[in-house]
Structures are given as structure tokens and as C-alpha cells.
Amino acid sequence: MPTFKVAVLEGDGIGPEVVSSALKVLKRLEALSGFSLVFEKALIGGCAIDQKGTPLPQETLELCLRSDAVLLGAVGGPKWDDLPTDKRPERGLLGIRKALDLYANLRPAKVYEPLISSSPLKEEVARGTDFIVVRELTGDVYYGEPRGIFVQEGKRVGINTMKYTEEEIRRVVRKAFEIALQRRKKLTSVDKSNVLEVSSLWKAVVEEEARNYPEVELEHLYVDNCAMQIVRRPSSFDVIVTGNIFGDILSDEAAVITGSLGMLPSASLGDRYALYEPVHGSAPDIAGKGIANPIATILSAGMMLRYSFGLPKEANAVEKAVERVLHRGYRTPDIYSDGCIKVGTDGMTEAIISALEEVWADLS
Ligand code: IPM
Ligand code: MG
């Protein structure tokens, strides 16, 4: 039986609570399926600043480099809000993405039928929404040089640089085409090529790559138009591929139409390493109260089974177990509505684990 080593970075706020839920689910599945997992914990974000003086300690990075996958909770909180940009907990996240070369960030946005009334969109618009944003994660204005606040002729000027090399575009675009092939074979590439040269290059590379994927239907949208179409016709999208900053913004928009940020997982993939984390943040206002929704982190662990360990049956079982508890009416406060069964983090985790046992028995 294969053994996989997982670096576990709980981070701040609700991070430790939701990661603990995901580990319980993985442990149960390990016993059911027969693969074997080794977990090792390390610090990242605010807790790492407090204990080690830096958001991404060297030993954390080394652990990630010798693991098969990384499971991350969340980083940040008000305690560290006054630190300068280059010392903040978020730097830990940006640093690890870059150090592991995690260039493709997959953010699925799925509207679950039992939760459809929590979507801010009309039900008939939201229904059936199931798409995935593939966001480039290691380039763009996030990392481009020069950057900084400089003084020119006695006045301050803030500078960031939007930059993509052709290869950076090509590798993420290929990943997106490959993912589209496994789904409904539709790809939307998002840019701002009516204004930006970087985007003209982006679009040209997408066109070049499209020749290798004739089965995939391709559309190009400007980012402003795409923002609009996501709320007008969300169920028409299958895979959206875009750069780092556009993807940051569009993936939050995609998240909110599903009804709860607490539901959305993510995977950040490179050619050698992979990191899995919920899309939501550290939610300091509810940290330690036992009410955080663990589903996004549990589904992130499911993505780990699929993309890092090649265990699609196990990944499907996790997704089915989550759907089953939602159908049964279990809800953490963030997704609660009248008539449902209100549970905390542990109650939701236990419900998912028992559904997982049933689903597994059905599949076996
Ligand atoms: C995200 C977040 C991060 C980003 C922040 C916390 C640095 O918004 O993962 O989307 O902008 O990438
Ligand atoms: Mg974001």
C-alpha cells in the first residue's frame, strides 16, 4: 500500500480547527481504503511570526519540500495587521507558493442544490453552477519587478509591474486545457487585451495552445465582462483560466455566488509540489468557538487525494459524503437556514465521517 507524507500547516484563526477535521476524515479513509498517510506539522503565518520571527520559517519550507503534499489551514489576523506588507502573515503564503512553484491554482465554484437558497443570486440563475477557476499563481503584478514606493521629484510614487513570460502563460494554460478535457470541455480565457500588452501575449499563447486541444470549446472574455457574466450566467462556465490578479478577484466573486465561502476548497499545483487549502481566510472573529465550517478544508483534502495521490475513488467518496450530509440538513452556522440541523465543527465532521463510511460501503 502506498504511503504519502503530508506537511500540515494549520496557520492562524480557525486554521487549526478546520485542518483537524480534515485530518480526521483522511484518517478514517486511510483505514477504509488501505493507503497510508504520515502527517507532520509546521508553522506558517502569524503563529510563525510569533514563535520564529518570520511568516515562513526555513524548517517549514524544508518540510514541504520533502513531503508529497501540503495541507494548509489559513493565515492572518488582526494581531498582525499593522505589520508592513513584507512582514505580514500573508507573506508566508506568497513565499510558499513561489518556493514550491505552485503555478496553477484551482478554485472550484459549485452551487449545491440543498444550499441554493443561500446564494445571493436568484435560484434559477444559480442552479447548476459548477465551474473551476484556474488562476495563475506565481507571476503577474504579485511578483513583477520593479515594485515599491519610491520618491520621484519629491513626491511618492507606488509601483508594481504586471509581467508574464510566454512560458509562464503556456504552462498554466495547458493545465487548464487538460482539466477542461476531463470535464465539460469548455474553456474561458480571461484577459484585458483591449488595454494591456501582457494580456495580448496571454491571448496569443492561449490561441497557440488551443490548436493542441481541438475538442475543447474556447472563448475569450475581457475581465470586466467576465465579472458580469459570472453573475448573469454562472452555470454556462466550465473552466476559466486567467492571470494571478484577475483570478484573485474573479475567484472571490465565484465563491460568493455558491452561498458560502466555507464550502470552497482549492488546490495549488506545480510540476513537483502541491498545496491544498480552503479558499476562506482565518476568520478570527469565530476562531476557537468550535463553529467554523470544516467543509472547504475537507474538500481540499479530497482534492489532495485526487491530484496528488491519484485516488479518484477516495476523492469521489469525500465529495459524495459532503453532499449527503447537506441533503440530510446538517449545517454549520454560516450555511444554516430554518428547519435544518445546526451543528458545530465537530458535529459536521462526525456527520461527514459517518456518511463517508456509508458511501464507501456503497462503492465497495
Ligand atoms: C487569496 C488571497 C491571497 C492572494 C492573499 C491573502 C495574499 O486573497 O489566496 O486569494 O491575494 O492571493
Ligand atoms: Mg483572494
Alpha helices in the chain (DSSP H): 15-33, 46-52, 58-65, 90-99, 123-126, 166-182, 197-210, 223-232, 244-257, 295-307, 312-327, 345-363
Give the distance (Å) from ligand 2 centre to CA of residue 287. 20
Active site residue 238: no
Q: Does 169 contact ligand 1 (Cβ within 6 A)?
A: no
Among residues 224, 271, 285, 289, the one annotated as catalytic is 224
Give CA–CA dist 105/155, Å, rounded. 37
Give CA–CA dist 115/263, Å, rounded. 10
- The helix or strand, by DSSP H or E, that contains position 149, with its residue range, turns out to be strand 148-152
Spatial contact of 355 and 28, defined as CB atoms under 8 Å apart:
no
Give the distance (Å) from ligand 1 centre to CA of residue 117. 27
Give CA–CA dist 275/72, Å, rounded. 7
Domains 1-107+260-364 and 120-258 in one fold: yes
CA atoms within 13 A on the CB side of 103: 18
Give the distance (Å) from ligand 1 centre to CA of residue 116. 26
Active site residue 346: no
Q: Hey, whose CA ends up nearest to atom 4 of ligand 1? A: 248
DSSP 211: T
Pairing of the two strands 69-74 and 274-278: parallel
Q: Is 150 helix (H, G, I), strand (E, B) or coil?
A: strand
Q: How far is CA 79 from CA 47, 50, 57, 75, 76, in A?
A: 10, 10, 19, 11, 8
Ranges of the chain whose pLDDT falls below 50: none
pTM (predicted TM-score): 0.91
Q: Hey, whose CA ends up nearest to atom 7 of ligand 1? A: 90
Active site residue 68: no
Q: Does 93 contact ligand 1 (Cβ within 6 A)?
A: yes
Q: Which CATH number fits domain 120-258: 2.40.37.10, 1.10.10.10, 3.40.50.300, 3.40.718.10?
A: 3.40.718.10
pLDDT of res. 118:
87
pLDDT of res. 85:
83
Into which CATH architecture does domain 1-107+260-364 fall? Answer: 3-Layer(aba) Sandwich (3.40)
Cell of 205: 499563447
Bridge-partner residues for 158, per DSSP? 149
Give CA–CA dist 71/127, Å, rounded. 30
Active site residue 248: yes
Q: Hey, whose CA ends up nearest to atom 6 of ligand 1? A: 90
DSSP 258: T
Residue-wise DSSP of 322-357: HHHHHHTTEE-GGG--TTSEE--HHHHHHHHHHHHH
Give CA–CA dist 88/281, Å, rounded. 14
Q: Does 140 contact ligand 1 (Cβ within 6 A)?
A: no
pLDDT of res. 94:
87
pLDDT of res. 86:
81
Q: What is the domain partition of the chain in residue ranges?
A: 1-107+260-364, 120-258
Give CA–CA dist 307/220, Å, rounded. 27
